[in-house]
Amino acid sequence: MLLETLVLLFFGALCANANTQTPFTSDLHSAASSTILAQENNITLQLNSITSEETFVALSHPRFPNHSVRIKKSTFCDPTVSVYTGYLDVDEGAKHLFFYFFESRRDPAKDDVMMWINGGPGCSSGMGLLFELGPCSIDMTKASPNGTNWNPYSWNKEANIFFLDQPVGVGYSYADFGETVETTEEAARNVHAFITIFFETFKQFAGRSLHLAGESYGGRYLPVFASEIYDKNKVAESEGRPSLNLKSIMIGNGITDISTLYEGRYQIECGTAALDVPFQQISTCVRIKSALPRCQALMRNSCIDQFDHMNCGAAVQFCDNEMTTAYWASGRNVYDVSMVCKEQDLCYPDENAVADFLDLTSTRQMLGAESPGKFTVCSNTVGRNFVSHLDKWAHHTQHYVAELLERDIRVLIYAGTYDYQCNWIANKLWVDKLEWSGRTAYAGQTWRDWLVDGHTAGATKKAGGLTFATILGAGHMVPHDKPAEAQAMVSRWLANQDI
């Protein structure tokens, strides 16, 4: 989910103990809750050697002397697999990034590893876990004794998956002294450190295929995170160190190339890209259509061709005032044009239920969550900090996607057709004009329907490592709206088959 409401206020619219001899040591973390796992110097850790559900085991890595990982076993969410939760302590332990790790339901020793992150910026991956694709879902009927229901369509059906609350300040992640991370590039360094320590500590993952998945602001995060991993891999390889076997990124209803955003929104509300009949008032559509060229010219001049902080901010403000205010005022859900909400905040009552559940003392204890203050699904502070750098508008994130494709990292861009915020048209338009060596081949492909259980789930197109797929009748949170279709798509993607 994007940090929609908050950002609207600003710009009206977002799409949303080192041992130098031996590689792995575990040591006493300063927190009293930690324990010593092994005292030998040369140990090979397996995840299943972590057995404590009460206390964290702290792990450190000589190449990340200022980082450590604390991890414990948990009975949270999925009784059919092993579950672990913990923190990456970054920058001499001052910043703490929370993660959940679920083994694959199929073959944890062989299946790929996937990371899922939600967007915002500032939104917790706990939302993706409990509302979208995790092994259990929040129980809105209050019938379940543990507050959740097992999800048969979870993406850990065929992959080991971790959910990361990042950057610091999001979900259960926190900083000791008010430190912040305010740009995607800065966030990427912590994500790379986290994945590296995890993979190098638990030897069973060495060389295992890795996929980065997420939605919404993930369209900005993931290309940058993947590029950080790719570039650091090259350094590691040149120094004879292990690297991460990064295979793909998967972006759902993302914001990647800002140049197509408003055009896409126009086509959703004033065209037939989502619903069969345009649903916006004619007078509003005329106003939007008239403002669109100016909005695009302003953005091109001050955000895209060259970036000027103040002018770009003004351009975005103009675009949002002219182009998206009417949609928000319409009462329709910005994440699903087929839904009318009483109030924007109440489009998804599940959101509050997830926040309440993750804030329970019993839940926190089960997970080992140590963040001070109330759990919130999205952090306004983190969102505001990213906006203050115009993190979304200042960078050409699509170029990262092209560079990754040239290096054989596969890219899946998928989108539910009912989303307004980071809609499928905006995504289709930027993918169509993406500058990469497969551009002509991609343009030459025809769309075809893709099927799940005999019915059409959406349309897809592919060339080389790039696949685009729509999910018919799904909004922004695709795995929530169309769980079977989303899971089938992921299954095919992981197996390197056509969607």
> What are the tokens at 195?
């994945």
DSSP bridge pairs for 57: 35, 71
Q: Which of 2, 37, 50, 77 binds ligand NAG (CB under 6 A)?
A: 77
Q: Which residues contact 437 (CB under 8 A, 6 or more apart)?
A: 405, 406, 464
Closer residue to ligand NAG in complex, CB, 77/258: 77
Respond yes or no: is residue 320 known to be catalytic.
Answer: no
Find the part of the chain contacting ligand NAG (CB under 6 A) among 4-12, 141-149, 226-234, 325-333: 141-149
- Active-site entry in 60, 125, 216, 243: 216
By beta-carbon proximity to ligand NAG, the closer residue of 128 and 223 is 128
Considering only the stretches 126-134, 145-153, 191-199, 201-209, report the one whose residues sit in contact with ligand NAG under the rule CB under 6 A: 145-153
Task: Count residues binding ligand NAG (CB under 6 A).
Answer: 15
Residue with tokens 């969550």: 369
Please say if 238 is a catalytic residue.
no
Q: Which stretch binds ligand NAG (CB under 6 A): 74-82, 153-161, 233-241, 435-443?
A: 74-82
DSSP code, position 192: H
Phi, psi dihedral angles at 60 (to 5 degrees):
-130, 170
Give least dist CB 371 to ligand NAG, A: 22
Task: Find out whether 452 and 440 touch, Cβ atoms under 8 Å.
Answer: no
Among 19, 55, 144, 180, binds ligand NAG (CB under 6 A): 144
165 is catalytic: no
Per the residue annotation, which of 78, 257, 336, 419 is the catalytic one? 419
* 21: contact with ligand NAG by CB under 6 A: yes
User: Distances in Å between the alpha carbon of 339 and those of 109, 152, 253, 374?
Assistant: 42, 26, 17, 30
Our CB check for ligand NAG shows the closer of 60 and 427 to be 60
Q: What percent of the chain is helix, strand and coil (3-state, nearest 5)?
A: 40, 20, 40
Q: Does 17 bind ligand NAG (CB under 6 A)?
A: no
Distance of closest approach, residue 92 Cβ to ligand NAG, in angstroms = 5
Token digits of residue 174: 């926190």
Site for ligand NAG in 312-371 (CB under 6 A): none
As given in the structure block, the two tokens for residue 53 are 């559900």
DSSP codes of every residue in 408-420: T-EEEEEEETT-S
Contact window for ligand NAG (CB under 6 A) among 47-55, 115-123, 143-151, 405-413: 143-151
Catalytic residue among 192, 476, 480, 481: 476
Q: Considering only residues 406-465, where is the footprint of ligand NAG by CB under 6 A?
A: none
How many residues are recorded in the chain?
Answer: 499
CA atoms of 481 and 468, how far apart (whole Å) = 19
Does 20 engage in binding with ligand NAG (CB under 6 A)? no
Of 46, 51, 79, 340, the residue at the interface with ligand NAG (CB under 6 A) is 79
| Ramachandran angles phi, psi of 12, nearest 5° | 80, -20
CB of 42: closest distance to ligand NAG in angstroms?
A: 4
Q: Does 49 bind ligand NAG (CB under 6 A)?
A: no
Q: Which of residues 81-140 bind ligand NAG (CB under 6 A)?
A: 92
| Positions of E strands within 128-281 | 136-138, 148-150, 160-164, 174-175, 209-215, 245-252
Least distance CB 44 / ligand NAG (angstroms): 7
In this structure, what token pair is assigned to residue 356? 């309440």
- Of the candidates 205, 204, 207, 211, the one whose C-alpha atom is nearest the C-alpha of residue 225 is 211
Q: What does the block give as tokens for 19?
A: 């041992």
Kindly list the distances between the CA atom of residue 147 and the CA atoms of 40, 354, 356, 367, in Å, as whole numbers in the listed order.
41, 10, 11, 14
Answer yes or no whether residue 66 interacts with ligand NAG by CB under 6 A.
yes
Min. distance of Cβ 169 from ligand NAG in angstroms? 20
The secondary structure element, H or E, covering residue 312 is helix 309-323
Indicate which single residue of 32, 145, 440, 446 sits in contact with ligand NAG (rule: CB under 6 A).
145
Which residues bind to ligand NAG, rule: CB under 6 A?
21-22, 42, 65-66, 75, 77, 79, 92, 144-146, 148-150
Active site residue ranges: 216, 419, 476
